[in-house]
Chains A and B, each alone.
Chain A
Amino acid sequence: MLVTMSGVRLSYGRWPALDKIDMEITRGEFLVISGASGAGKTTLLRLIWMGDKPDSGFVEVGGFRSDRIRRRELPQLRRKIGIVFQDFRLLHTRTVFDNVALPLQVSGTRNRTVQKRVISLLARMGLSHRRNSFPHELSGGEQQRVAIARAMVAHPVLLLADEPTGNLDPEVSREVVELLLEINRGGTTVVMATHDPRQVPAGKGRFLFLDRGVLRGADRWTELDQDS
């Protein structure tokens, strides 16, 4: 099991953002977590990369448990996880190359290895010609591809995508989802949070639904498909 959440509860102030979360994510799966805005999708992802700690219960990711992990161990955990955000979160003062290279540089990877990996990944992502561009010179789709490249460059075991298509038009959104599915086919576990699970083709992953902080295990995709 790559991720285990047991009896997780997290409140912001008086209101629980997440409650009674029991969930497991196996290696290599593609998990779609859907729910309305404010349902707790982002919070759930934050708990997985241990940006927050649960008030009760625990989260275990790749052998690191939220209730036992030390502060200095957090970087080790985070190097096993790639994260993609809705707003891309690229550093605007750095080129595409430098943005993608960042996770390798912070882990002390040799310069030659960094060059090799980043150049190869940018080529696979169709971004070679954008290597020296700055984020503001790119389209939304390109920026998200750079963000995905940055998340993948250190070969993480788990990729978290928080509304990765939220700022993109439908055509580009399809491309991004296809890219995530391709990454998953390559063996990386992918957890995608989205308010619109229709973006992921049926049968391509496991679907979970978050309703006001509570996880509904039902195959929401089927319900949504029937509704539509």
Chain B
Amino acid sequence: MDRTGSGLMSFIRSAVREITLNLHFRPGARLITLLMVALAFVVFNTFLIISWNLQSIMDREENLVGMEVFLQRDISPGEGRVVGDLISSLPGIKSVYYVSPQEAEALFRAELPGRTDLLDVMGSDFRLPASLQIAFETEAMSQERMSELSRTIGAIEGVKDAVYGENYLPGLIKTVITIRRLVILLGIVLVSSISLVVFYTVRLSVVRRSLTVNIMRTVGAPWWFIRVPFVVEGVFMGMTGSACGLALTAVLSEVLSGAVTHRFMPLSWMTLVILLGAVTGTVGALAGSYEKER
């Protein structure tokens, strides 16, 4: 056999030709395979959109969870900020915002416009106390941790009181944790299911060409020459199928956007969806060609 440098080029050229021939084989059957993969991904993508929107809602709810720390009346703005710095160094604290008496009054007037008479009754010398608005890291959001932080902050000199939503916080935390666990569980089930659907669909389309694989074997084709066209096909089917699935889901999302307000998934998730399609398609094609090559 001529296996010189240009022989290697012929080898590669033949392999590329095999890939092209493979991709042109039975376009109807290929279209059905693509459709199967795309539909499987529509289900998966719908779940991802629901999860993404749910995640946004939960993040918003969590951001509302915070603590209001009222400072003693005689404390100066500078001292108040020192207390704020002290609190922000505690573990689990995301941010601390100093609210001056003037800002507190403005907020009061803005949020409770019907109750401004209360301030007027107190007289022109009355000032609302300065306070600190504290936001927490997600890991600090448990009943025990919040209670502990409340006690710690309450003991700091200059702090009069530390208040947080003791009544609704345990329920909120429990709900968020339960929803997150359910989403993860459902996500695992769906990723496994979709992987199997794509795997078996692509594998089936490869197994259908067992004659080609058998002939390749008998004429002495190396393993990579047999498999590479199928792997390329697997990547192509998986990626195109998942991309078509994304396009279909986008259309569906657009159609439903009037009835249900939602956001489409982010670009990073879309990339992962296409990657999942490529990986499962490749594995399916490899398994199918290996099965027939043995």
Contacts and interface: CB of A to CB of B under 8 A. Distances in A.
Contact of B6 (A71, A77, A110): A110
Contact of A102 (B13, B24, B219): B219
Interface string A36-61: 00000000000001010000000000
A75 B1 contact: no
B169 to A, nearest CB: 63
Interface in A88-122: 89, 91, 93-94, 102-111, 113-114
A106 B220 contact: yes
B1 A108 contact: yes
Interface in A1-52: 49, 51
Nearest to B25: A93
B10 interface: yes
Contact of A94 (B1, B8, B21): B21
Contacts of B218: 49, 51, 78, 83, 89
Interface stretch (B114-122, B207-215, B249-257, B278-286): B207-215
A103 B219 contact: yes
Contacts of B3: 107-108
Contacts of A110: 2, 4, 6-7, 10
Interface in B3-24: 3-4, 6-8, 10-11, 13-14, 17, 21, 24
A49 B218 CA distance: 8
A108 B14 contact: yes
Contact of B220 (A71, A78, A114): A78
Contacts of B223: 71-72, 75
A108 B219 contact: no
Residue in B2, B7, B24 whose Cβ sees the most chain A Cβ within 10 Å? B2
B7 A106 contact: no
Interface residues of A, number: 30
A51 to B, nearest CB: 7
A148 B109 CA distance: 97
A108 B10 contact: yes
B221 A75 contact: yes
B144 to A, nearest CB: 60
B13 A111 contact: yes
B21 A111 contact: no
A107 B212 contact: no
A16 B188 CA distance: 47
A81 B217 CA distance: 12
Given A105-B14, A108-B14, A113-B2, A75 B212 contact: no
Given A93-B21, A93-B25, A109 B219 contact: no
A113 B3 CA distance: 12
For A51, A71, A83, A106, which residue has the most chain B Cβ atoms within 10 angstroms? A106
A161 B109 CA distance: 98
Contact of B214 (A71, A79, A89, A108): A89
A76 interface: yes
Contacts of B14: 105-106, 108
Interface of B: 1-4, 6-8, 10-11, 13-14, 17, 21, 24-25, 211-212, 214-223, 225
The 7 A-B pairs at the shortest CB distance, nearest first, are namely A108-B11, A78-B220, A79-B220, A106-B221, A105-B14, A103-B219, A75-B220
13 contacts: A49-B218, A51-B217, A71-B223, A75-B222, A79-B220, A91-B215, A102-B215, A108-B10, A109-B1, A109-B7, A110-B7, A154-B219, A154-B220
